[in-house]
Amino acid sequence: MPDNYILAVGAHCGDMEISAGMALAKLARAGKRPVFLHLTPGEKGHKTLDPETYAAQKREEAQRAAAAFGGEALFLPYRDGELPSDETLKFQIADVIRAVKPKVVLAHWTGSMHKDHTAAGEVMPDALFYAAIRGFERELPPHGGVRMLYTENWEDPIGFRPELYMEVEQQYVERWESACKEYALFAGGVSDFDYITYYKSLARVRGLEIMSPTGLAQCFGLTDLARRRRVSDI
């Protein structure tokens, strides 16, 4: 794969598209392709469909959404609500990082109301470490130098700090909305939460906070070490 990939690691199909998709739509236009790694389908939240049926539906929706973002979808075979925070998962994600070779990885912030989101965020630093270190012998060669950013997700608000504001234009909000609506979850009728209105409103608020010329922005959180700045003057 060429080295222009952004890997978005979500606990459930849809998490990364809905929370980071405005930025990803803009980056895709600039030639940076998103790869969505879905750790579970997020199949247990449907009011009428059984989990197995809904899982199959969500995987198809994920494929269509990824294509609409100009990217692709990958899957790990975990179940909704049962995502472990263990070494096996860390190495599985590390292997994907070695295969995709992204420059940027998007991850869940760990202060979440959903245990899968917390687990998905917790495993990422070690997954990046295992991906980068040659001494961990895997099928593929190591890949390091990856920047990790946390996405701003309504389910992950505890202690989240919006620190990196990316300006986005209205056209990318529209691309995000149409791509996300490949999921029944975001088109309406599955959940009582109004995802589209929430994230559109959030983009407007974040845009106002930085006086974005477009009036819109998508936020990311930084890792602790990423806050270090080398300067020659203050």
| 156 part of the interface to Zn ion, by CB under 5 A | no
Token couple for 60: 């198809």
| 182 part of the interface to Zn ion, by CB under 5 A | no
| 143 part of the interface to Zn ion, by CB under 5 A | no
Question: Exactly one of 11, 25, 97, 166 binds Zn ion (CB under 5 A); which one?
Answer: 11
Position of tokens 């236009």? 29
Alpha helices in the chain (DSSP H): 15-29, 51-68, 87-100, 115-122, 124-132, 170-180, 184-187, 195-209
Q: Which helix (H) or strand (E) covers residue 37, if one does?
A: strand 33-40
Total of residues contacting Zn ion (CB under 5 A): 3
Which span sits near Zn ion by CB under 5 A: 3-11, 26-34, 77-85, 225-233?
3-11
**What angle is formed at CA 220 by the lines to CA 36 and CA 4, rounded to 5 degrees?**
45
Q: In what order do the strands lie in the sheet with 33-40?
A: 72-75, 33-40, 5-12, 104-107, 147-151, 217-222, 164-167
Between 48 and 77, how does the x/- string for binding to Zn ion read (CB under 5 A)?
------------------------------
Question: Exactly one of 5, 13, 15, 120 binds Zn ion (CB under 5 A); which one?
Answer: 15
| 175 part of the interface to Zn ion, by CB under 5 A | no
Which span sits near Zn ion by CB under 5 A: 8-16, 50-58, 66-74, 136-144?
8-16
Question: What residues line the site for Zn ion (CB under 5 A)?
Answer: 11-12, 15
